[in-house]
């Protein structure tokens, strides 16, 4: 399995904190919102590894819906994980374009 936290450890070694991961969904459909989520994982996970309950975490497109829902619950109920979601609706996308709307959603999630 690849080292999922090599980038985080490199940043922490340089005394950088507050490292967030961000991703979007919704850029493919012709109508509908673009949604972005940002997540900050505990620094300890980069050093010690993620909890056993999250070992199946992977690209959501590669996971069954039931597994995604289970992992979502684990993440949402873990007090050490900080997350946020932002939505930019279709009328705004039409006004500013999909790229700018994606950037806006990502910035709002952060």
> Among 25-29, 66-70, 81-85, 101-105, whose mean pLDDT is lowest?
25-29
Number of domains forming the structure of the chain: 1
List the beta strands (DSSP E) in 2-101. 21-25, 34-40, 82-88
Query: What is the pLDDT, as a whole number, of residue 5?
Result: 86
In a domain, 1, yes or no: no
The predicted model scores a pTM of: 0.81
In a domain, 94, yes or no: yes
Higher pLDDT: 100 or 44? It is 100
pLDDT in tens, 58-97: 887 888 999 989 988 988 888 889 999 999 999 999 999 9
- In whole angstroms, give the CA distance from residue 13 to residue 76: 28
Q: Read off the CATH number of the domain in which 32 is found.
A: 3.30.420.10
Q: For residue 30, what are the domain limits? A: 6-109
CB 47 within 8 A of CB 3: no
- In whole angstroms, give the CA distance from residue 83 to residue 21: 9
The answer to whether residue 14 scores a pLDDT higher than 90 is yes
In a domain, 27, yes or no: yes
């Amino acid at each position: 399995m690849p080292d999922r936290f090599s980038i985080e450890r490199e940043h922490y070694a340089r005394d950088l904190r507050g490292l967030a991961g961000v991703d979007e969904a919704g850029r493919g459909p012709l109508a509908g919102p673009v949604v972005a989520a940002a997540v900050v994982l505990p620094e300890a996970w980069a050093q010690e590894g993620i909890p056993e309950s999250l070992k199946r975490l992977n690209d959501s497109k590669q996971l069954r819906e039931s597994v995604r829902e289970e992992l979502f619950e684990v993440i949402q109920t873990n007090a050490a994980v900080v997350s946020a979601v932002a939505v930019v609706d279709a009328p705004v996308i039409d006004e500013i374009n999909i790229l700018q709307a994606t950037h806006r959603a990502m910035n709002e999630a952060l």
